[in-house]
Amino acid sequence: MKDSQMVVLGDSYVDWPSHSFLQDLAKETGHKFRSYAVGGVSMATGGIDSSNNVPQQYAKAVRADKDIRFMLLDGGGNDILVADTLMFPRGAECKESGSPESNPDCKKILDLAVDAATKLMMQAANDGVRDVLYFYYPDVPKGTLLGGADPVAVLNYARPGAKASCDNAEMMSAGKLRCHWVELTDVFKGHADWFALADIHPTPEGSAAMAKKMNEVMKAGCLAQPESSGCCEP
């Protein structure tokens, strides 16, 4: 698989000043991915840049070169952490209350994000993308300016929906696309020092651990591996 056939989409967990995930990923995998990630964006609503959400990034990637076979992406965290309060007046409460399930706006935000992720998977499958690696925010620190009083509660509330959009992709695409879920809560467990000071973003050590995990999943699934690896691309 050529490097040009591999694309990265997402938000600040891919591209942000606190870390070097894209460089770490290239070092771990030996591939230079085409990246269209933009810090602070959402999957469907919210975020700080409505013109570069994850589906729009994918559209840009296709316009640049439609021959895409593998995608690595994250998305959906900013939908709830940086909620669109014009669309959802109680959206800002989702990361503060500790009980997002009791707030109808939190569910509405989540439903739109999951729907957008599902549609993205189906569009990618129809375009010939064979595999996706999808990761979501880990349990980030509480009490930060961006994360709010209790981001863990709302991330845990939202995570199953994001995972379902990945887990169901193969069935919904009639086998054309497989999505491989990467669980970052396990990667960051016990490593509070892997978050930047008073922030929810990873440090260089955190992003290096993320890249190592992505490479492990890629190797285990025989995704974008060289012929010398002894396995064939699915």
- Per-residue pLDDT, 33: 94
What lies within 8 Å, CB to CB, of 182 at 6+ separation is 133, 134, 135, 213, 214, 217
For residue 144, the cross-strand partners are 148
Written as tens digits, the pLDDT of the chain (234 aa) is: 889 999 999 999 999 999 999 999 999 999 999 999 999 999 999 999 888 999 999 999 999 999 999 999 999 999 999 999 999 999 999 999 889 999 999 999 999 999 999 999 999 999 999 999 999 999 999 999 889 999 999 999 999 999 999 999 999 999 999 999 999 999 999 999 999 999 999 999 999 999 999 999 999 888 877 666 666 554
Whether the full predicted model's pTM is greater than 0.85, yes or no, is yes
- Per-residue pLDDT, 97: 87
- Per-residue pLDDT, 228: 65
* C-alpha–C-alpha distance, residues 169 and 223, integer Å: 17
Q: Which domains does the chain have, with CATH numbers?
A: 3-229 (3.40.50.1110)
Which residue spans within the chain are E strands per DSSP?
Answer: 6-9, 34-35, 70-74, 131-135, 178-182
Region of residue 187 (left: phi > 0; alpha: psi -120 to 50; beta: else): alpha
Give the 3-state secondary structure of residue 21: helix
- Per-residue pLDDT, 234: 43
Half-sphere exposure of 146 (CA within 13 A, CB side): 18
